[in-house]
Amino acid sequence: MKKEEFDILSYKIRPKLISLARNFISVVRGIEAEDIVQESLLTLWELSEQGYPIKDSESLAIKITKNICIKHYRKNHLDTHSLIQDNYIGDIEATYLTDIDDLKIIKKHIYSKLTNTQKEYLYLRNEEGKSLDEIADITGKPKTSIKSTISSARKQMLDLIKNQL
């Protein structure tokens, strides 16, 4: 993709991407829609420069934006204690804190039924918000293997929960 084509595409899809990012911001605070869009467009440009075959630039830009939003959601949303300290939740009732404790107990019980590899991959993915590529870099395992292990762990966890009900 040439710079002129990219500039035209950026101008055309920026409103859609900003709208998507703004919807996301209502869920996670501390990030600007424009920052997400800039990161998305930069990623799209870098893929283009690296020769990545782009069939539909607009769809790819939307997908990149969604993935960046998910990355920020995972990174910011899972840290409940920082949310409480930053007053994002507001007044916290005792029942809410009790629910958090109950969820920790349930999570610990379910995680105890998983293999060490499953626990490690789930921790990296869910708690640290790592991408599959990042987990592959950390563990030295193929991305497809990691994805399969996480998927089977989640299925196993769901079965454990269903059996408890």
Note the pTM of the prediction, 2 decimals: 0.45
Mean pLDDT score across all residues of the chain? 79
Give CB contacts under 8 A, 24+ apart, made by 27-33.
27/73, 27/77, 28/72, 28/73, 28/76, 28/77, 29/76, 29/86, 29/88, 30/76, 31/72, 31/76
The better pLDDT of the pair 24, 118 is held by 118
The predicted pLDDT at position 89 comes to: 47
pLDDT (tens digit, 9 = 90+) per residue, 8-19?
888 888 888 888
| Contact yes or no for 44/61 (Cβ under 8 A) | yes
The predicted pLDDT at position 77 comes to: 59
Asked if the model's pLDDT at residue 148 lies above 90, the reply is yes
Asked if the model's pLDDT at residue 74 lies above 80, the reply is no
The better pLDDT of the pair 91, 56 is held by 56
